[in-house]
Structure 1
Amino acid sequence: MLLADLARTSREIAATSARSAKVTLLAQLFRTAEPAEAPVAVTYLAGRLPQRRTGVGWRTLMEHPPPAAAPRLTVADVDAALGRIAAVSGKGSQTERKRLLHTLMSAATEEEQLFLIRLIGGELRQGALDALAVEGLSAAVGADPVDVRRAVMLGGSLGTVAQALLARGPAALADFRLTVGRPVLPMLAQTAKDVDEALDRLGPCAVEEKLDGIRVQVHRDGESVRVYTRTLDEITDRLPEVVAAAHGLAARQAVLDGEVIALDQDERPRPFQEVSGRVGSRLDVLGARESLPLSPVFFDLLAVDGRDLLDLPVGQRHEELARVVPAPQRVRRLVVTDPGDGKCRDAAREFTGQVLARGHEGVVCKALDSRYSAGRRGASWLKVKPVHTLDLVVLAAEWGHGRRTGKLSNLHLGARRPDGSFAMLGKTFKGLTDALLTWQTERLRNIAVSSAAWGVTVRPELVVEVAFDGVQQSSRYPAGVTLRFARVVRYRQDKTADQADTVETVVALRGQRTPLSG
């Protein structure tokens, strides 16, 4: 496949607002793709790189050579070239990256250059591309979109499924089953403002602790144990406590969903940043374990001893979980069988209060008949926290004043639009510690696309969790709303910009005056 075909399709998708038209364009592209090209093509269209980072800055991208007269670059050529650029390191690496990028850009036409600049610079936004690509891929090979979506959930990658389908057709979907050792995308929760709303929406449900830790998926197959993050990265070597816990299960084979947290001497959770730093550290794991031991807490069981439990209701999955995992390693929960009964509601509120009193984030309410929808933010799981938070993207930052002089301080915050771009919702400089200001300034300088006396505009890739008291109408910002008393909670380095909250989500919260939940 020529890069020109991909660049043209990308432009045409961005130019149309009709979902059906976007799906048709994707189907046409898939029909012309070779199976081996599909994973890279899908990744590029979604605005991502298989290499994740190339080390190429915006200024270097702007120094590109004159374009080629005719298209000749293939998708495979580009992937190989970017792989070489990403692999450059050591003395003289910046010069070598520039040379390799110049060679690549010299072979690209004007439209291809524009596509590559936006792709490498993180500015290629197609809007819900993964969901549309499932439909386009289904149409291209004559498969049921529901079956393709499930295969993507279980395979963990749209590209992997696309390659198999283009090579062998719908019969390839049978290959994508829950397999111990191959991680699946985790099920996610929607939000409710409080427990009463969650009970009204769900009916009979389980109310579980919501722990502020790192999501983990644990696979045990005999003596072999593997641990994965919510983004499916393997971190087994960093978490010996989790490996030991997995070896202690009352099952030889299992796939579990849970969190790792750190507790202080009073059994209260330690800050998320400490847990994140421990999980992210690859050096001196034994020493890190001594200074900050982690505790795995499991809340779901997806498979056990050869049995796939995904389609069982949550109540039955928990029965299996209780049989396999000892109580200290299971999340606390309360089953509400009759949400219409006042005593049941009081019990749910009391349980939530106890969870908060122990220092945890809130609760997750799960409909008792809900199946495990891997990779989906389903309406059958609802999370409730006492203070509302949103995951927003940093669009720009202003230089600080006073003791913050020389630091990028006031953040411009954006939510995702349906087309993948971002709408600014407001600004905040609250909640930033001195250490976070220093880190933030360095990081934002590295991803700046322009600078001025007031501050910098940056590539929209950093996700920050922001707490706020409410959403109010505002003619000052493009979405017509802004956040009231916004303050930074933490940066979400485990999330990408396409996982940030949407404008639709923010607008839906407008006018709520009670403490919000999210």
Structure 2
Amino acid sequence: MLLAEVARVSQEVAETSARSRKTALLAGLFAAAPAQEAGLVIAYLSGRLPQGRPGIGWRTLGQETAPAAEPTLTVLDVDTAVAEIAATRGAGSVERRGGVLAALMGRATAPEQAFLRSLLSGEVRQGALDAVALEGVAAAAGVPAADLRRAVMLDGSLPRVAAAVLADGPQALRGVTLRVGQPVQPMLAGTAGSVAAALDVLGPCAVEEKLDGIRVQVHRDGDDVRVYTRSLDEITGRLPEVAELARSLPGERFILDGEVIGRAADGRPVPFQEIASRVGSRVDVEAARRTLPVVPYFFDILVAGDEVLLDLPVRERYAALAALVPEHARVGRLAVEDPGAQAAEAEEFSAETLRRGHEGVVIKALDSSYAAGRRGKHWLKVKPVHTLDLVVLAAEWGHGRRTGLLSNLHLGARTADGTYAMLGKTFKGLTDEMLRWQTRRLRELAVEDDGFTVRVRPELVVEIAYDGLQRSSRYSAGVALRFARVLRHRPDKPATEADTVTTVLAMRTP
């Protein structure tokens, strides 16, 4: 299939707001894709590269290359080129990757070049992400979306399942099941504003500690233990403590869901950034283990022996977990069978969790099943909301639906000498109206525009919500915002009243 067809549909999807129209556009494209290319087409329209991010910066992507006059580039050509770029390492690799990219761009038409830049930079945000892409595949294959969603949940890969069902029809779904050794997409939690609000929504529930660590899925089949991240990457060798604990458990075959954290000498959890560094690909595992040992805590079980437990309610899955995993390796938990009578107890459990340095709590309906890969309404996280007033230092031109708009904001806090220290970037939380307004305002403040980033006078203040801070060597303040999103612009507030670096550091989570 020509990449031009993929780029065309991507653009059309970006220009429509109707979900039904998006689905129809994608279904038509997926149905027309040759069987051996369907997985690639679906991955590209979902904003993913099978090889992951290939390590090409915007400076390289932004280099001008004369476009081809006619479309000849296929999705298989793109896959071959990206695989070569991703595999290029060592001395001179930047130049070699640039050469492959230039050759690829030279074969692409102007619309294809725009799509490739978005795809290679991870900026495909035209609304054709997993949920809509899945509906498009279901329509193209003539299968119920619910059946396809469950198969993808069990297999962990929409492109892989989609390619099979487009090639073989509905019967392809019958062979998809949860298997030990094949990671499954984790269930995610929605958000509640308070413990009381979550209790009102969920009824009988469990209130569990929300740990600020690395989500892990642990598979054991005899002596074979595999540890996966929430993005389904295997990291077994980087967390030997987790594998050792799994082998010590009495069960021979299981899948556990949990979190890995580290603890300081005083018993409090260490910052997320320190734990994240433990799973780095270049880390000396034994040295890291001596300086920062980690501890896994489990909160769910998906398979026990030959039984798949996904459809069992929380209360039964927890009983199976408790039968396998000792209490010291399970997250702290309070069962709330009567929310009315136990509301104060639940509030105190949440407060005590925060006092011990954890993020907050996750509250789970006791009768709910495990909806893998979805952010369901049956799990609700409750944690404090941190906000800061920060100054916009620069903004990046958007892509896809945000083409022509200044989107990704560079955020800074005031320093003692009157300058600003950057703390991170975000494009989240911005409505279309906010994007249009900030584009007009930032263009008025612009002092430099290199075609990708517009640097501005530090005058516009924005109110930012964020989940916490992590250590960062990239920024001069030594910290970066985690999961920052824009709440509102504050044109009424001068930059001199924005938060300072001193204030930010004082708010660092323990």
TM-score, length basis structure 1: 0.79
Q: 2 CA distance for matches of 1:301 and 1:370?
A: 14
1:158 corresponds in structure 2 to 158
- Indicate the SS of the match to 1:383: strand
Residue by residue over 1:301-352, the C-alpha shift from the partner in whole angstroms, topping out at 9 and shown as x without a partner, is 11100100000000000000010001110112111111122xx112212222
2:55 corresponds in structure 1 to 55
Q: Given residue 187 of structure 1, which amino acid in structure 2 is its aligned partner?
A: M
Q: 1 CA distance for matches of 2:120 and 2:372?
A: 30
- The answer as to 2:383 corresponding to 1:380 is no
1:367 corresponds in structure 2 to 365
Change (3 A) 1:240 1:385: same
Q: 1 CA distance for matches of 2:58 and 2:350?
A: 47
Is residue 414–residue 425 contact of structure 1 (8 Å, CA) maintained in 2?
no
Shift of 1:408: 5.3
Q: 2 CA distance for matches of 1:322 and 1:450?
A: 52
Pick from 453, 459, 464 the counterpart of residue 450 of structure 1: 453
2:257 corresponds in structure 1 to 257
**Residues 195-344 of structure 1 mapped to structure 2, 5 A cutoff:** 195-280=195-280, 282-341=282-341, 344=342
Q: 2 CA distance for matches of 1:488 and 1:267?
A: 20
- The answer as to 2:18 corresponding to 1:18 is yes
Pick from 393, 401, 410 the counterpart of residue 397 of structure 1: 410
1:463 corresponds in structure 2 to none
- Indicate the SS of the match to 2:68: coil
1:352 corresponds in structure 2 to 350
Shift of 1:16: 1.4
2:469 corresponds in structure 1 to 489
| Mean Cα deviation higher: 217-226 or 156-165 | 156-165
Q: 1 CA distance for matches of 2:218 and 2:116?
A: 37
Q: Given residue 19 of structure 2, which amino acid in structure 1 is its aligned partner?
A: R
Q: Given residue 220 of structure 1, which amino acid in structure 2 is its aligned partner?
A: R
Change (3 A) 1:322 1:500: same
Is residue 413–residue 424 contact of structure 1 (8 Å, CA) maintained in 2?
no
Residue by residue over 1:118-147, the C-alpha shift from the partner in whole angstroms, topping out at 9 and shown as x without a partner, is 322333321252111111111111101001
Q: 1 CA distance for matches of 2:387 and 2:246?
A: 33
Gaps of 5+ in 1: 427-446, 456-475, 493-498, 508-518
Is residue 467–residue 483 contact of structure 2 (8 Å, CA) maintained in 1?
no
Q: 1 CA distance for matches of 2:101 and 2:206?
A: 54
Change (3 A) 1:501 1:287: closer
- Indicate the SS of the match to 1:126: coil
**Residues 106-117 of structure 1 mapped to structure 2, 5 A cutoff:** 106-117=106-117
Is residue 9–residue 25 contact of structure 1 (8 Å, CA) maintained in 2?
yes
Q: Given residue 375 of structure 1, which amino acid in structure 2 is its aligned partner?
A: G
Is residue 39–residue 160 contact of structure 2 (8 Å, CA) maintained in 1?
yes
Is residue 262–residue 294 contact of structure 1 (8 Å, CA) maintained in 2?
yes
Residue by residue over 1:363-421, the C-alpha shift from the partner in whole angstroms, topping out at 9 and shown as x without a partner, is 1111110100001111111111134579x9992326887667997526564325689x9
The size of the alignment, in residue pairs, is 452
Q: 2 CA distance for matches of 1:418 and 1:2?
A: 33
Q: Given residue 363 of structure 1, which amino acid in structure 2 is its aligned partner?
A: V
- Indicate the SS of the match to 1:276: helix
Q: Given residue 40 of structure 1, which amino acid in structure 2 is its aligned partner?
A: L
Is residue 253–residue 305 contact of structure 1 (8 Å, CA) maintained in 2?
yes
- Indicate the SS of the match to 1:349: helix
Pick from 421, 427, 436 the counterpart of residue 414 of structure 1: 427
Shift of 1:262: 1.2
Q: Given residue 106 of structure 2, which amino acid in structure 1 is its aligned partner?
A: S
- The answer as to 2:110 corresponding to 1:130 is no
Residue by residue over 1:233-278, the C-alpha shift from the partner in whole angstroms, topping out at 9 and shown as x without a partner, is 1100011110111011121100000011112333322222221212
- Indicate the SS of the match to 1:125: coil
Q: 1 CA distance for matches of 2:465 and 2:119?
A: 35
Shift of 1:453: 6.4
Q: Given residue 280 of structure 2, which amino acid in structure 1 is its aligned partner?
A: G
- Indicate the SS of the match to 2:339: coil
Change (3 A) 1:60 1:238: closer
Q: Given residue 142 of structure 2, which amino acid in structure 1 is its aligned partner?
A: G
- Indicate the SS of the match to 1:370: coil
1:438 corresponds in structure 2 to none
Is residue 191–residue 382 contact of structure 2 (8 Å, CA) maintained in 1?
yes
Is residue 415–residue 423 contact of structure 1 (8 Å, CA) maintained in 2?
no
Q: Given residue 386 of structure 1, which amino acid in structure 2 is its aligned partner?
A: P
Is residue 64–residue 105 contact of structure 1 (8 Å, CA) maintained in 2?
no
Residue by residue over 1:423-481, the C-alpha shift from the partner in whole angstroms, topping out at 9 and shown as x without a partner, is 8999xxxxxxxxxxxxxxxxxxxx993254648xxxxxxxxxxxxxxxxxxxx89xxxx
Q: 1 CA distance for matches of 2:183 and 2:54?
A: 26
Is residue 386–residue 465 contact of structure 2 (8 Å, CA) maintained in 1?
no
Shift of 1:360: 1.7
Shift of 1:486: 6.9
| Mean Cα deviation higher: 198-207 or 276-285 | 276-285
Q: Given residue 452 of structure 2, which amino acid in structure 1 is its aligned partner?
A: V
Is residue 409–residue 427 contact of structure 2 (8 Å, CA) maintained in 1?
no
Change (3 A) 1:83 1:24: same
